[in-house]
Amino acid sequence: MYRAFVTNLEKCVVFEHSFIDSRPKTFCSTVLYFCFDKPNVLFPGVNMSNSVNISVETTCENQIREIGYDGTELYQPPPTLSESLAKCAARIDFSKTSLDDLKKEEKTAAAAAEEDKDATQFQESLWPWDAVRNKLKDALTEICVLSDVISIAKDKRYLVLDPLLEEADDTKPIVQVYSRKKAISQAAQVLLGGAERLRNAHSEQRNRNVSDFHIELLRLRQNWRLKKVSNAIIGDLSYRTAGSKFGMSGTFEVTKAEETGDEDTASSSNSSSSTSGNNGMQLKASSALRVIVPAELQGVAYIKVITQKDQEDLCTAQVNLMGHGPNITAQVGVWQKTLEFAQNVLFCKELFAQLAREAIQLQAPIPHVVIGNQIRATLLPNIQLIISLCHSTTFDSSQPAPINDHDHVLEHSLHQLLREVHYKNSHHPFPHPASAPLGPTKKRMLAGPMAADRETLLDMTKSQTILEQIIAQAQHIFMRKRTQYVLDTLARDVKDPQIVSHWNAMNSPTMSCVKINIVTHGYDAIGRTSLVIHVKERSLKCICRDGRVMRLSYEPQELRDLILCQINSHQISCLISLARCMAWTVLSNSNHLGVGKVEPLGNASSCLLASPNSDRMIAVQIRCDPQIDVKVYIARSPRQDFFPSPLVPEKLWENLGGTFKEVRFDKIEGKSFLNKMEFLMASLTSNSA
């Protein structure tokens, strides 16, 4: 252990090299003192018999570092105290102390101790606690020394520990360049050798005609779950890890293909690849693996969903796993297609079993029927939803014709709903707080603190099964198609005014939104009629421009009647706006005319207009019978052919108005109702002027 004591840096610097002797509380020390004063005065009580005094002298002049062109000499600055101390300490060689000298010192110290012991035996102790005092004094001295060492090492005011400066070897830069060049060349040779070996291995693997069993097994393991049971390799096709609880086994066995059977498989695969391709890529001719799939999972399966009305298919969807995700059959091997078909069969059987179980448990107004591999559910009157499981163990070369009216939303919903069931089986909500029981959701946990009512609690407990959601989506699909048909039919049949439908692109599976604008070509600035229709599962919600809300059933005639009534009111409102623009006076108007025969649909609308001079009047009547029927009447006052009579002797009484005469409205020039009325009002205004 090395300890440094610096008490007076100007007078003395002491280095002490000490080691602990085997005897307790005894130190054997070899002390080297650099002193300029009496050491006994500086260190009282320290035995200086074994110390050596060395005088340290400094050079009178400093070394010349540089001589300038003008003869100026630049001296090297004198070293600091820490540098001088480090240089002196580096020159001390502690290995020169021999073992014999240490033994002599131990013998001398032991003899001195015996003499002191003999001397103390003849001297009586002046104080009985003298020995304890000496022990405590020694302990206090050691503690003080330890405190001084810690304070010096911590403060770093008196002593700084610098590393020893070794004299650097004079190395030339060219030597370092050559050494680095040699090291880099060796590393390059190692890398080039490894790259060459990898290139050779890759070329050998590419040139081999027979595939490697272990490489095929590695590719199989990258895409499917495998485990080794005894001497066999077993794989799993089921969705148990995703949360499925379907009981059918989805295990398959992986074996090494025999050499005798390789030729047969190669020929069969070649024939199959020559007849049919997979997205323009041919599969591998042979494989070192053979996959054994259970008999119940062999073949091709899909679920067919049909919305049928009176033996007529309205909507059709086929559900399977084929065609989803990246096609990796050509990259991995022929076994990939076999496993994909088997997993597709398992998926379809699980989905159909779940739907059949729910169809039996649900209590519908019209019970659902499950017969064999077919489920029948009633959507609307005379409209049925048929879900069939089609499973064929043989590959038929004559594939069925593609479905023209395939509903991708319904297909995606079936996939998504089954995966949602798997997710709920494996992901349970965490209890809130942690001491609460498992099962209730966070909303139900907060129902008490939030003071939820009974209706809210009942809504939390309600949940729809897969079949209920599919039925609701099928009903909505049918209602949307029926609404589209009604709007398209009216837009085709009714030329004046024009019916424009804007379907919202972002819809939910059970609700769609359509905005209907009724405008007249050339007069869209005068007025337009807008309404929004929300298409739900079994009903329609119509929101008019004035804020009225009307709820319609699933019958298409109700929607047709509503659109015709909106057309009727649109014509009257636009006619009133046009008459005001042409300075005609609106005497009266009514959307619910109670005069004449009873209308089979809605109510008749009427409007009475007067010319600017009030000598002409136009009466307009619009009925839905069942098409738009427009009748226009004209009256003049006074009449031109006036004949006095005993009741009306004077002509001024004829200004009250004459009889109305019907106008052959279809003979008037104009493309639309408003255009004809504009021509009619213009002609009557010019005649009166």
Residue 277 has pLDDT above 60, yes or no: no
How much is the pLDDT for 306? Answer: 83
Q: What 3-state class would DSSP assign to 27?
A: strand
281 DSSP 8-state letter: B
More confident call, 201 vs 226 = 226
More confident call, 670 vs 404 = 670
Q: What are phi and psi of 214, to 5 degrees?
A: -70, -35
Confidence of residue 329 (pLDDT cuts 50, 70, 90): very low
The 10s digit of each residue's pLDDT in 405-437 is 556 667 777 778 888 888 888 777 777 677 777
Name the residue type at position 16.
E
Instruction: Provide the token pair at 68.
Output: 């300038």
From 504, 645, 518, select the one nearest 574 (Cα to Cα): 518
How much is the pLDDT for 184? Answer: 94
What integer is the mean pLDDT of 30-45?
A: 41
Instruction: Output the CA angle 22-25-26, nearest 5 degrees.
Output: 65
- Contact predicate 27/18, CB 8 Å: yes
- Residue listed under structure tokens 């080691």: 19
Residue 262 has pLDDT above 60, yes or no: no
For the ranges 199-203, 459-463, 562-566, 597-601, the lowest mean pLDDT is seen at: 597-601
**Other C-beta atoms within 10 Å of 563: how many?**
22
What integer is the mean pLDDT of 247-252?
A: 86
What integer is the mean pLDDT of 92-107?
A: 64
Residue 34 has pLDDT above 60, yes or no: no
The 10s digit of each residue's pLDDT in 641-654 is 666 777 777 766 66
Most confident of 315-319, 326-330, 460-464: 460-464
2 by Cβ neighbours in 10 Å (0-12 / 13-18 / 19+) ranks as exposed
How much is the pLDDT for 43? Answer: 46
How much is the pLDDT for 529? Answer: 92
For the ranges 17-21, 299-303, 361-365, 460-464, the lowest mean pLDDT is seen at: 17-21
How much is the pLDDT for 486? Answer: 94
The 10s digit of each residue's pLDDT in 501-554 is 999 988 888 899 999 999 998 898 888 899 999 999 999 999 998 889 999 999
How much is the pLDDT for 161? Answer: 63
Most confident of 254-263, 562-571, 625-634: 562-571
How much is the pLDDT for 550? Answer: 92
Confidence of residue 317 (pLDDT cuts 50, 70, 90): low
Terminus-to-terminus CA distance in the chain, angstroms? 131
- Residue listed under structure tokens 């304890």: 132
More confident call, 480 vs 106 = 480
CA-CA distance, 235 to 218, in Å (whole number)? 13
Alpha helices (H) along 374-453: 408-426, 442-445
Residue 467 has pLDDT above 70, yes or no: yes
CA-CA distance, 498 to 523, in Å (whole number)? 11
The 10s digit of each residue's pLDDT in 666-688 is 888 888 999 999 999 998 886 54
Residue 583 has pLDDT above 80, yes or no: yes
Q: What percent of the chain has pLDDT over 90?
A: 16
Contacts of 688 (CB under 8 A, 6+ apart): 611, 612, 613, 615, 616
- Residue listed under structure tokens 């030329």: 495
Instruction: Output the CA angle 597-603-604, nearest 5 degrees.
Output: 70
How much is the pLDDT for 108? Answer: 79
How much is the pLDDT for 259? Answer: 56
Confidence of residue 20 (pLDDT cuts 50, 70, 90): very low
Residue 574 has pLDDT above 80, yes or no: yes
What integer is the mean pLDDT of 44-51?
A: 52
Confidence of residue 312 (pLDDT cuts 50, 70, 90): low
Strand partners, 73: 67
Full-prediction pTM beyond 0.95? no
Residue 57 has pLDDT above 70, yes or no: no
pLDDT, averaged across the chain: 76
What integer is the mean pLDDT of 60-77?
A: 79
For the ranges 50-59, 106-115, 494-503, the lowest mean pLDDT is seen at: 50-59
Residue 164 has pLDDT above 60, yes or no: yes
Most confident of 128-132, 191-195, 216-220, 275-279: 191-195
Residue 180 has pLDDT above 80, yes or no: yes
86 DSSP 8-state letter: H
